[in-house]
């Protein structure tokens, strides 16, 4: 990863600033070739990337579009990646198999959707009361997380790369207030992954459905509550029109990491420079998504509260305490049933314990002080 770190910086500087990395001699050679229309130029490599998001959806959906654009630019048009939204080539949750089976070369999704195939995958998106975006990025890229993620996807013929982070999500949309843990009883809540398992233990009925189905499901009462992402994406789906209360914080997803999935054979067939471009473009997009959410959630929340009259509500501390306690039990129980999940959880937990101690006297201390 050290090698990637320095490569990342040098290639990123070249790719993002538009500086031409080639020498002036090379430039004149290239110019003369261009003038004579190089006869032996290789045709561009064409890849297909399917996502789990609606086409061009803010944040999540824009990341793969920007990634494809960056790869095109950095490779000087040698690698063309066509991006397809959920349902265009295959359903939202079929993209993992699509990449694994080589139907598509890449996908953009979130790893907790694959918990049925690989329970350990859940740690690479977000777990209830787990690490924040900043912490996850540290773990993945400098704390051994990427190596474990690669190991988890290796049997599927898939190489993972981090593909953006939404930051702290919201707790979701409800039509009745949550004052005690008992208020979850009988509620049908759209919440995928471990968060859904936690809700099941407090008597709720968790369901998973793609984002575009949420509005209709809330409107018809097929579900009682739903979490999606946060202000930018929730506003785009109009969820405030079909639910009354907007709860925070997103205890179930404190920093959801997205993923690029790459078919291993396709990746290995690329020349080394294109492989490096893919890695570096993904790393740039990974940070770019977080930066965009950090900025756009502010104005989207203002719109929801001031213009749309949404009622913001905090989960009571006793409810969060109870959910945290149950979250630990759910993760422990699942880890006890799957050796690879246990291995990844132990590594995740050890890193988290360390970073939490440091953040107590840095991020957290500052954040608490700033509230006054």
Binding positions for Ca ion, rule: CB under 5 A:
169, 253
- DSSP for 312-358, please give it: EEEPPHHHHHHHHHHHHHHHHHHHTT-HHHHHHHHHHHHHHHHHHHH
Tell the smallest beta-carbon distance from residue 228 to Ca ion (Å): 6
Tell the smallest beta-carbon distance from residue 200 to Ca ion (Å): 17
* Residue number with CB closer to Ca ion (197 or 253): 253
Q: Please tell me the distance from the alpha carbon of residue 259 to that of residue 369, in angstroms, as a whole number.
A: 34
Tell the smallest beta-carbon distance from residue 22 to Ca ion (Å): 43
* Residue number with CB closer to Ca ion (120 or 229): 229
Q: Please tell me the distance from the alpha carbon of residue 152 to that of residue 344, in angstroms, as a whole number.
A: 9
CB 184 within 8 A of CB 199: yes
CB 297 within 8 A of CB 203: no
Helix (H) or strand (E) holding 158: strand 158-165
Tell the smallest beta-carbon distance from residue 191 to Ca ion (Å): 8
* Residue number with CB closer to Ca ion (169 or 297): 169
Tell the smallest beta-carbon distance from residue 170 to Ca ion (Å): 8
* Residue number with CB closer to Ca ion (132 or 263): 132
Tell the smallest beta-carbon distance from residue 227 to Ca ion (Å): 5
Tell the smallest beta-carbon distance from residue 169 to Ca ion (Å): 5
* Residue number with CB closer to Ca ion (253 or 288): 253
Report the half-sphere exposure of 342 (CA within 13 A, side-chain side).
6
* Residue number with CB closer to Ca ion (126 or 286): 126
Helix (H) or strand (E) holding 69: helix 62-74
H helical segments located in 202-316 = 214-220, 231-236, 264-268, 272-302
Helix-strand-coil percent breakdown of the chain, rounded to 5?
55, 15, 30
Tell the smallest beta-carbon distance from residue 60 to Ca ion (Å): 10
Looking at beta carbons, which pairs linking 333-342 to residues 24 or more positions away fall under 8 Å? 334/119, 334/194, 334/197, 335/119, 337/119, 338/119, 338/120, 340/118, 340/119, 340/120, 340/151, 340/152, 341/119, 341/120, 341/122, 341/123
Q: Please tell me the distance from the alpha carbon of residue 162 to that of residue 229, in angstroms, as a whole number.
A: 18
* Residue number with CB closer to Ca ion (119 or 172): 172
Tell the smallest beta-carbon distance from residue 18 to Ca ion (Å): 35
**98 CA to centre of own chain:** 18
* Residue number with CB closer to Ca ion (70 or 191): 191
Residue 81's DSSP bridge partners are: 47
* Residue number with CB closer to Ca ion (15 or 193): 193
CB 108 within 8 A of CB 67: yes
Residue whose C-alpha is closest to residue 189's, from 242, 158, 225, 161: 225
Tell the smallest beta-carbon distance from residue 194 to Ca ion (Å): 12
* Residue number with CB closer to Ca ion (68 or 330): 330
């Amino acid at each position: 990863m050290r090698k990637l770190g320095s490569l990342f910086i040098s290639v990123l500087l070249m790719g993002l600033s538009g500086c031409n990395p080639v020498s002036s001699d090379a430039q004149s050679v290239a110019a003369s070739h261009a003038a004579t229309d190089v006869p032996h130029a290789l045709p561009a490599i064409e890849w297909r990337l399917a996502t789990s998001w609606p086409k061009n959806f803010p944040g999540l959906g824009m990341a793969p579009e920007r990634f494809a654009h960056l790869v095109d630019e950095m490779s000087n048009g040698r690698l063309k990646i066509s991006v397809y939204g959920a349902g265009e080539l295959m359903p939202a949750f079929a993209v993992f198999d699509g990449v694994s089976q080589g139907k598509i070369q890449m996908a953009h999704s979130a790893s907790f959707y694959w918990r049925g195939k690989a329970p350990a995958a859940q740690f690479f998106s977000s777990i209830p009361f787990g690490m924040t975006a900043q912490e996850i990025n540290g773990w993945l890229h400098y704390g051994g997380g990427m190596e474990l993620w690669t190991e988890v996807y290796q049997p599927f013929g898939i190489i993972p790369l981090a593909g953006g982070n939404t930051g702290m999500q919201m707790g979701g949309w409800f039509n009745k207030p949550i004052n005690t843990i008992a208020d979850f009883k009988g509620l049908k809540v759209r919440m995928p992954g471990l968060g859904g398992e936690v809700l099941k233990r407090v008597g709720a009925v968790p369901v998973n459905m793609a984002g575009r189905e949420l509005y209709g499901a809330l409107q018809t009462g097929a579900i009682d509550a739903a979490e999606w992402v946060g202000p930018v994406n929730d506003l785009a789906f109009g969820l405030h029109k079909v639910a009354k209360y907007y709860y925070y914080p997103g205890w179930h997803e404190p920093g959801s990491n997205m993923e690029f999935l790459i078919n291993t054979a396709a990746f290995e067939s690329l020349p080394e420079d294109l492989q490096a471009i893919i890695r570096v473009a993904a790393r740039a997009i990974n940070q770019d998504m977080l930066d965009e959410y950090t900025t756009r959630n502010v104005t989207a929340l203002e719109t929801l509260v001031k213009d749309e009259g949404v009622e913001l509500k905090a989960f009571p501390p006793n409810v969060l305490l109870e959910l945290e306690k149950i979250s630990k039990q759910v993760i422990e129980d699942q880890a006890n049933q799957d050796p690879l999940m246990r291995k990844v959880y132990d590594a995740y937990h050890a890193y988290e314990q360390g970073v939490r101690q440091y953040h107590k006297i840095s991020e957290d201390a500052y954040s608490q002080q700033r509230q006054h």
